[in-house]
Amino acid sequence: MSAPSTPDDDRDASSDDHDPASPADHTPESRPDPSSSTHSPDPPDGRLSRALETTRRSLPLAVLPFLASVLAPAKVATVLSSTMDAGVTFSFPSGLPTLWSFVQANGITLSGPGGLALATWLPLAAVGLLVSAVLEAAFVGGISNRVDGEDASLAANARRYGPRMVGVNLVRFAVVLVALPFALLGPLVLLPVLVLGYLTYGLPFVLVVEDVGVGAALSRSVSDAVAGGAYARFGVAYLLAMLVPSFVLTVVVYGSGLLGVVLGAALVAVPAVFVVAYGVLVFRALASPNGAP
């Protein structure tokens, strides 16, 4: 007949089965390799329904892309100081889709008519960069909160991600500078712009979803872009879907002046909420070991 077990015996047995200090229990999960064949497939139907539901619950946030559109002084001034019959802008998703994601407004001249003087454009562009960075930080962070069913703390998200989002805007500006020499090639300038835009469009999403710095976000965005998968599907689908709206909005904005700017900003505000909600889910899945957002 065996002796009855004591509480000390039970604790010893329990410690054999599970050692709380075991390194295996505290090893952080690494980010999955997006090119790995074991990465879970993209579930577009479930992601679409979640993005639509998040959009419905986040409609008040549509004021942020509206404000980002009308509070872009360099772009608004360019529209009011120049003319354009029609055009199409090729763009990938961003953390703050605005009217200027669809309407080209970068007409600059050193002096004289036909565009905005460089001396005027530069300070206006700097103001726009800072304002859009703060709004984009609040927007992406707020929608990420909404995906989790939480309140969107706009001020807290602006403080948390705003400084890093300024860095994101500087990377975007650098992309434009890199593409400028290719302007001598005429229409071929579109190719490097598209390639660089594709490689970097994930920056704001990765920065917020994984809460990393600009350098790490850029590295991961490029890695995801090269791997293709959900990153490529989301980016290319957006690019193609926006071609017709871009043409229509360009005609409206340049044909109606300030009224066209306000109308265009209002038209893109709610779709911008959906785009970012869907993007947050895409990049959560890319960052998740099991591919779940």
Per-residue pLDDT tens digits for 176-220: 777 777 666 666 667 888 899 999 999 999 999 999 999 999 999
In the chain, pLDDT over 70 holds for what percent of residues?
73
pLDDT for 73 equals 82
Range of lowest pLDDT (30-34, 101-105, 123-127, 168-172): 30-34
Domain that includes residue 120, residue range: 43-287
Domain count of the chain?
1
- Distance CA(51)–CA(57), nearest Å, equals 10
pLDDT for 260 equals 93
How large is the average pLDDT for residues 72-93? 81
Q: 141 pLDDT exceeds 60?
A: yes
Q: Is residue 224 part of a domain?
A: yes
Own/partner long-range contacts of 260-267 (Cβ < 8 Å, ≥24 apart)? 260/79, 261/69, 261/70, 261/76, 261/79, 261/99, 262/70, 264/69, 264/99, 264/102, 264/103, 265/65, 265/66, 265/69, 265/70, 265/98, 265/99, 266/66
93 or 182, which is more confident?
93
**Predicted confidence (pLDDT) per residue in 38-75, tens digit:** 344 445 668 999 999 999 999 999 999 999 999 888 78
Q: Is residue 15 part of a domain?
A: no
Q: Is residue 18 part of a domain?
A: no
Q: Is residue 21 part of a domain?
A: no
pLDDT for 89 equals 86
pLDDT for 72 equals 84
How large is the average pLDDT for residues 140-144? 97
Indicate the pLDDT class of residue 14, thresholds 50, 70 and 90. very low
- Distance CA(134)–CA(22), nearest Å, equals 42
Q: 255 pLDDT exceeds 80?
A: yes
- Distance CA(209)–CA(101), nearest Å, equals 22
pLDDT for 235 equals 97
Q: Is residue 12 part of a domain?
A: no
- Distance CA(220)–CA(237), nearest Å, equals 20
Cα separation of the two ends of the chain: 55
pLDDT for 181 equals 73
Q: 282 pLDDT exceeds 80?
A: yes
Q: 129 pLDDT exceeds 80?
A: yes
pTM for the model: 0.79
Q: 222 pLDDT exceeds 50?
A: yes
Q: Is residue 34 part of a domain?
A: no
How large is the average pLDDT for residues 166-171? 94
Q: Is residue 200 part of a domain?
A: yes
Q: Is residue 116 part of a domain?
A: yes
Q: 19 pLDDT exceeds 80?
A: no
- Distance CA(201)–CA(281), nearest Å, equals 15
